[in-house]
Chains A and B, each alone.
Chain A
Amino acid sequence: SRMFLVCPMNMSPRVDPQKSGHEVWEEFSRSFTPAVREVVEFAKKIPGFRELSQHDQVSLLKAGTFEVLVVRFASLFDVTERCVTFLGGNKYSVDALRTMGSGDLLSSMFDFCEKLMNLGLSEEEMSLFTAVVLVSADRSGIENVNSVEALQETLIRALRSLITRNHPNESAIFTKLLLKLPDLRSLNNMHSEQLLAFKVH
């Protein structure tokens, strides 16, 4: 029975059948760790993030890292060619990944990435949106909700101001961006379910 890891945070979806489950997991972990560290480095640069309690910094990062990675790596999903580039640099078509066992999550990620990329945001806009994704006061385990909420509101105001300035004739972009937040939550939940299934397997 062949096994595949269809998450693009892998070097390749193919798993060496000679390797133990532990070795496969270790390799996967080595592969995505640098990306997670980048998310932490990004968070540290958000003005006000380091002023939150360490507990809340960790809670926000634990809950939001997947969503930040989806936004940061949206360009790995080539909507035109319907393929995904893995960290190893190789591209795999959606059909190939489907035969390897990818399901609704991958299709939903494609839909999300297509809509996000279609907004044509600048690097600065994308970066501020990513900060809004990360600093969400309704994540579980937040001890000082008021502080996180205050920072979240400041970031949302800054995002609205930037989008309004850059796209004066496209007022719907800001609303569309905010509507991406529940979409990301939904992807996050689907991803957690797949991780659970993987671990049980």
Chain B
Amino acid sequence: FSDPASNLGLEDIIRKALMGNLEERQE
């Protein structure tokens, strides 16, 4: 529980949103 952001699933949402942009740039 020491990392609330990970607990909430935030990290996953953030990574996906950031990666989406990377994929767009690669295209």
Interface SS majority for chain A: helix
Binding site for A on B (CB under 8 A): 1, 3-11, 13-15, 17-18, 21
A-B pairs with lowest CB-CB distance, top 10: A40-B17, A62-B5, A192-B4, A61-B14, A195-B4, A36-B13, A37-B17, A196-B1, A33-B13, A62-B11
Would A62 and B14 be within 8 Å (CB), given that A196-B1, A199-B1, A200-B1 are in contact? Answer: yes
Residues on the B chain within 8 Å of A37, using CB: 13, 17
A54 within 8 A of B: yes
Which A residue's beta carbon lies closest to that of B25? A50
Docked complex Cα distance between A50 and B22 (Å)? 10
CB within 8 Å: A-B pair count: 46
Interface SS majority for chain B: helix
Docked complex Cα distance between A144 and B9 (Å)? 24
Count chain A residues whose beta carbon lies closer than 8 angstroms to a beta carbon of B: 21
Docked complex Cα distance between A36 and B5 (Å)? 11
Residues on the A chain within 8 Å of B5, using CB: 62-63, 65
A24-54 vs B, Cβ < 8 Å mask (1 yes, 0 no): 0000010001001100110010000010001
Residues on the A chain within 8 Å of B21, using CB: 44, 50
